[in-house]
Chain A
Amino acid sequence: MAEQHTATDGKHKASPNAGGSVHGNSRPNAVGGGGKGGLSGGLAQPAGWQSLLSFTILFLAWLAGFSSRLFAVIRFESIIHEFDPWFNYRSTHHLTTNGFYEFLNWFDERSWYPLGRIVGGTVYPGLMVTAGLIHYVLNLLHLTVHIRDVCVFLAPVFSGLTSISTFLLTRELWNQGAGLLAACFIAIVPGYISRSVAGSFDNEGIAIFALQFTYYLWVKSIKTGSVFWSIGCCLSYFYMVSAWGGYVFIINLIPLHVFVLLLMQRYSRRVYIAYSTFYIVGLVLSMQIPFVGFQPIRTSEHMAAAGVFALLQAYALLQYLKDRLTKQEFQTLFFLGVSLAAGVVFLTVIYLTYTDVCLLYSSSYAKIHIPIIASVSEHQPTTWVSFFFDLHILVCTFPAGLWFCIKNVNDERVFVALYAISAVYFAGVMVRLMLTLTPVVCMLSAIAFSSVFEHYLGDDMKRENPPVEDSSDEDDKRSSGNLYDKAGKVRKHVSEQEKAEEGLGPNIKSIVTMLMLMLLMMFAVHCTWVTSNAYSSPSVVLASYNNDGTRNILDDFREAYYWLRQNTDEHARVMSWWDYGYQIAGMANRTTLVDNNTWNNSHIALVGKAMSSNESAAYEIMRSLDVDYVLIIFGGVIGYSGDDINKFLWMVRIAEGEHPKDIRESDYFTPQGEFRVDKAGSPVLLNCLMYKMSYYRFGEMQLDFRTPPGFDRTRNAEIGNKDIKFKHLEEAFTSEHWLVRIYKVKKLENREPLEHKLRSIVPRQKYTSKKVQGSKRPNM
């Protein structure tokens, strides 16, 4: 809490200082630039204090961001969370033990049995390489840190770097005060924290840093027109491509920005240099990542960039010719050029549609036709509640910042306006993409807050010295280049207004300032609360709190995975639903059949079919896949709602997609259309493998004297089929709270017992011939 309060006070101090330093320099020495130049004044001038203050605020923002993400580590331990990070951790471990080239060419035969997975070509290596590099450097300096700790704490460290790049970007867009505010916002905002807590070792943790830094370098290269900044932007873009699949956002937003600049008649040679260099060097850099391969010149997502590149070349050529020729000559050439271009475009479109390169999917195509994509909870549309939950007051003030940017437009502010609009659209489509909205919301809210603070705080000094205002405006125009010209004009209007209403001035100003500060403090409190309660759960370890506040830790998952690790053969194969594949591979170190990568739908459908069929049919599938153990999650004893019976319908749907003749979803519902596990449930459901595995021996268990034995707490029903017997499976392990259940698949019997009744041998009636009976045997 202390960090947050200091940060908000620091924000309060930054803006009047930024305003004050400009005036401070204008009065005694009219020479010299604004707050940033200040060479003639020496070290004791406001410029020195300003840099010290900025440095302190940024350092505190980094510290606040880092500490805010440590809740899970303090409450539990330093452990990798959730599902996807376990795969990233396993790959990083492979990288540090076997070297870089082994990692890049890794073929993993312990997942997706019997297919295997080409990890080198299907993964974004940036995260693993970053963690591996940090681990290597630290060990080189003899600071022996285990790779797990590097992985756990990587995301919080990079959140500080994200704050700094957001500061740089906002400073380029508006001014230093707004930059500091933006840095503080993004350090603690929940929308970003949700994907970058300590332990969440996932791509987004470093990708948002790469995104902001690339955008900063892009804005810098547009402003200066220097090839140096463009190459920097390309290298940062290369890092982003290696880190996350969301790089497509960059390669579409930047061409859109250039295109809109062309439409707004803001074309300049700087734009040409910046974009051409960025496109061509960025193109060849992005193709170095094996996973991306040749996609940048083949798929439709990258065609916009190529199109804008071609258009820009044509436009630049036309501008060059226009400067040299008279209007009439130019018109003849222009006509010829346009007809040529139209012909080329026409031929290209025909070629592309013929070779089927550009297939444009609507946003709902994937959701309707591919059940795996539809079943992921992160792909659901965003609700209004999540916008407020993740962004609090920033979502209310960000339209104001957008309005300021549009009102005082220049090349860079067009960029941030486009960024905001596209991010808002995408965030509305999928919950997961709230993450791309968060940085731009932080920046624009910071701009809004900064303008408000300048308006209501910076006027104190102006009112006392009205004659100075003219020179201060001139000074602004001369000093900080493009940034201050529009803001200076705003101040002029305000000061005239201020002269008119002298009495109300200070009261309104202090009320508004107090309100703003209160809003910011509530924001800080909300962010910390949300981080603590909603986003700090490792989901590998569950905790529940009793009435008196003591904590119950449910460590069933790790208990089961470690049982597997220690009690099964090294080459044993474990079948489970795809959610748990990465965790089994990471913690239990066993071969899995399907995992979270979900690259092979038919294989997943096969597993789904095995789970939904009856025991004999499932046994055939399991034999064909060489399965040794089956692992399921069952939440009926503690009321855990994320268990496999609740996910069961998705298994059925995915299986039905591939095997519609064997599995029908309607079979698993009652005739009235309900999904019930009690006696009224459908018989197909009550005899399927998943049901039997979940409720084996559960019928004998009575949790509570008020409920009958076999009462499922999650579904609130007494189970229908209590007397479950297995023919081909046997129970191997059930964890303490029955969360994880592992079954061993028995081999075929040596001798099949006969199904029919044994043939009974009736003793034959003794039949002796009458001839022999009465007469003597003749002597021979």
Chain B
Amino acid sequence: MSNSVISVISRFLEEYTTKTSNKLKVVDAYLFYILLTGALQFLYCLLVGTFPFNSFLAGFISCVGAFILGVCLRIQINPDNKGDFLTISQERAFADFLLAHTVLHLVVINFIG
């Protein structure tokens, strides 16, 4: 079974590198970076403890929020999904992304204490 899982994953990776456009790959790289940052923060919290709990939460939610917003951006600029988002152009998707990040970071700065 593990053999088939590995083969599935390798096939998926191969298809991913060939089929997806460069624009989406950039977004995916950004998402991967955010994921690493979030994992690091969580690991640090496990090791050192949660003392300024609001600071930990602020940082961690900032990572999760940035990841989610990146995923939303990727969904909205993917040309395959155009049917779902008739009123949203690429520029509008990016502008929404910026607005959401402004709000998110303002709140995180307030929460970090």
**Out of A225, A281, A332, which one reaches B85, CB within 8 Å?**
A225
| A248 interface residue per 8 A CB criterion | no
Q: Are B68 and A226 in contact (CB under 8 A)?
A: no
Q: Mark A224-237, 1 if CB is under 8 A from B, else 0.
A: 11111011001100
Instruction: Tell me the bound Cα distance from A272 to B107 in angstroms.
Output: 22
Please, how many angstroms separate the alpha-carbon atoms of A283 and B53 in the complex?
15
A329 near B8 with CB under 8 A, answer yes
| Distance of B34 from chain A, by nearest CB (Å) | 12
Q: Would you call B65 and A268 a contact (CB within 8 A)?
A: no
How many Å lie between the Cα of A273 and that of B81 in the bound state? 13
B contact face: mostly helix, strand, loop, or mixed: helix
| A-B contacts, CB under 8 A, total | 99
Stretch at the interface among A284-292, A483-491, A744-752, A754-762: A284-292
Q: How far is the CB of B9 from chain A (nearest CB, A)?
A: 8
Is A137 engaged at the interface, CB distance under 8 Å to the other chain? no
- Are the CB atoms of A281 and B110 closer together than 8 Å? no
B8, B95, B107: the one contacting A284 at CB < 8 Å is B107
Q: Are A321 and B12 in contact (CB under 8 A)?
A: yes
Q: Indicate whether A280 sits within 8 Å of B61 (C-beta atoms), given known contacts A235-B103, A273-B75.
A: yes
Given A227-B97, A281-B100, A325-B8: A270 in contact with B61 (beta carbons within 8 A): no
Say if the beta carbon of B22 comes within 8 Å of chain A. Answer: no
Residue numbers in A under 8 Å from B108 (CB-CB)? 284
| Complex: A332 Cα to B1 Cα, angstroms | 8
Q: Is A333 part of the contact surface with B, judged by Cβ < 8 Å?
A: yes
A268 touches B61 (CB 8 A): no
Number of interface residues of B (CB under 8 A): 42
- How far, in angstroms, from A779 to B94 measured CA to CA in the complex? 136
Task: Kindly state the separation between the CA atoms of A336 and B12 in the bound complex, as whole angstroms.
Answer: 16
Complex Cα spacing A231 to B11, Å: 37
Question: What's the Cα separation between A324 and B16 when bound, in Å?
Answer: 9
Which A271-318 residues sit within 8 Å CB-CB of chain B?
272-273, 276-277, 280-281, 283-285, 287-288, 294, 297
Do A225 and B100 touch across chains, with their CB atoms under 8 A apart? no
- Residue A269, interface by CB 8 Å: yes
Interface flag for B5 (CB, 8 Å): yes
B56-83 contacts to A (CB < 8 Å): 57-58, 61-62, 64-65, 68-69, 71-73, 75-76, 81
Asked if B4 is an interface residue, CB under 8 A from chain A, the answer is yes
- Cα(A338)–Cα(B61), bound, Å: 25
The one of A269, A283, A329 in contact with B75, judged by C-beta atoms closer than 8 angstroms, is: A269
Name the B residues within 8 Å of A325 (CB-CB): 8, 11-12
A297–B62 alpha-carbon span in the complex (Å):
15
Instruction: Let me know if A270 and B84 touch, CB within 8 A.
Output: yes
- The smallest C-beta distance from B32 to any residue of chain A, in angstroms, reads 14
B85: nearest chain-A partner, CB-CB: A225
Residue interface bits B80-108, CB-to-A below 8 A is 1, else 0: 01001101100011011101100110011
Give the distance to chain B from A582, nearest Cβ to Cβ, in Å.
31
Instruction: Specify which chain B residues have a CB less than 8 angstroms from the CB of A270 in the assembled complex.
Output: 84-85
Partner of A280, one of B9, B64, B76, B93: B64
Instruction: Contact check, A228 vs B96: say whether CB atoms are below 8 A apart.
Output: yes
Chain A residues closer than 8 Å to B75, beta-carbon distance? 269, 272-273
**A277 and B88 contacting across the interface, CB-CB below 8 Å:** no
Q: Is B111 on the interface with A (CB-CB < 8 A)?
A: yes
**CB neighbours of B9 from chain A (8 A):** 333
Query: How far is B72's CA from A321's CA once the two chains are assembled, in angstroms?
Result: 17
Given contacts A280-B68, A288-B111, A324 and B15 within 8 Å (CB-CB)? yes
Contact between A277 and B99, CB atoms less than 8 A apart: no
A280 touching B65 by the CB < 8 A rule?
yes
Indicate whether A285 sits within 8 Å of B107 (C-beta atoms), given known contacts A273-B72, A276-B71: yes
Residues of chain B lying within 8 A (CB to CB) of residue A228: 92, 95-96, 99
Known: A227-B72, A325-B8. A297 touches B57 (CB 8 A): yes
Q: When the two chains form their complex, are residues A287 and B103 in contact, meaning their CB atoms are under 8 A apart?
A: no
In the complex, the answer to whether B100 meets A333 with C-beta atoms within 8 Å is: no
A281 to B68, alpha carbons, bound, how many Å? 10
CA distance A333 to B97 in the complex (A): 32
Q: Which residue of B lies closest to A272 (CB)?
A: B75
Interface string of A190-226 (1 = CB under 8 A from B): 0000000000000000000000000000000000111
Interchain nearest-CB distance for B12 vs A (Å): 6
Please tell me if the beta carbons of B104 and A281 are within 8 angstroms of each other in the complex. Answer: yes
- Chain A residues positioned under 8 Å from B1 (CB to CB): 332
Q: How far is the CA of A225 from the CA of B54 in the complex (A)?
A: 31
| Nearest CB in chain B: distance from A332 CB, A | 5
Query: Given that A288-B107, A294-B53 are known contacts, is A329 also in contact with B68, CB under 8 Å in the complex?
Result: no
Given contacts A273-B75, A280-B61, A336-B5, contact A226 B88 (CB under 8 A): yes
Residue pair A231, B8 in contact (C-beta under 8 Å): no
User: Using Cβ atoms and an 8 Å threshold, which residues of chain B touch A230?
Assistant: 100
Q: By the criterion CB–CB under 8 Å, are A329 and B104 in contact? A: no
Residue contact B65 to A269, C-beta cutoff 8 Å: no
Contact (Cβ within 8 A) A281 B65:
yes
List the A side residues contacting B81 at CB < 8 Å: 269
Whether the Cβ atoms of A281 and B8 lie closer than 8 Å is no
Q: A224-B87, A285-B107, A288-B110 are in contact. Are A294 and B65 (CB under 8 A)?
A: no
Task: Give Cα distance in the complex from A280 to B101, angstroms.
Answer: 12
Q: Are A227's CB and B53's CB within 8 A?
A: no
Report the separation of the CA atoms of residues A284 and B57 in the bound assembly, to the nearest whole angstrom: 8
- A227 and B8 contact, Cβ closer than 8 Å, known pairs A235-B103, A277-B72, A280-B61: no
- Considering the chains assembled together, what is the distance between the CA atoms of A284 and B93 in angstroms? 22
- A/B interface sample: 11 pairs, CB < 8 A: A225-B76, A226-B92, A227-B69, A227-B72, A269-B81, A270-B84, A276-B71, A281-B100, A284-B104, A324-B15, A324-B16
- Other CB < 8 Å A-B pairs besides A269-B75, A281-B104, A332-B4, 5 of them? A228-B95, A228-B96, A277-B68, A288-B107, A294-B54
